[in-house]
Homo-oligomer: A and B are copies of this chain.
């Protein structure tokens, strides 16, 4: 279950008047990484709905803010599936501040850690549904 790492530039839209990245922006960044994780496995939200009648929803998330990111920073946003059940995917997530395009990721400063739990629901009824079996296998290989 490989991790997905996404580089995200911090733009004005992501910051607030305290001069740092606004808290809800990190949840947008973490969702981008989860979507890219799916995408990297050949699945996107449109496919899921059209081929399987499924929607992936977030059922819970928690985040710890350890250091602020700032305008112009290049962030390394990670999504890694750490457990699956018939209905749930649990992602460990993090956001690190890198020194820019050239700096080694290893020196990156940890800004945020988080855990996101996603579930599969029926696109019409909204009821929980198991992930299609083959699909879950495919996802977590």
Contacts and interface: CB of A to CB of B under 8 A. Distances in A.
Task: Name the residue among A25, A27, A32, A64 with the largest chain B CB count within 10 angstroms.
Answer: A27
A32 B14 CA distance: 11
B16 A15 contact: yes
What does DSSP make chain A's interface, helix, strand, loop or mixed? mixed
A19 interface: yes
Interface in A100-138: 126
Interface in A38-76: 44-46, 55, 57-65, 68, 70-72
Interface bin, chain A: 35 or more
Contact of A15 (B9, B17, B58, B65): B17
Given A12-B45, A46-B71, A62-B63, 10 more contacts: A13-B16, A13-B24, A13-B28, A18-B45, A23-B31, A23-B58, A23-B61, A45-B71, A45-B72, A61-B62
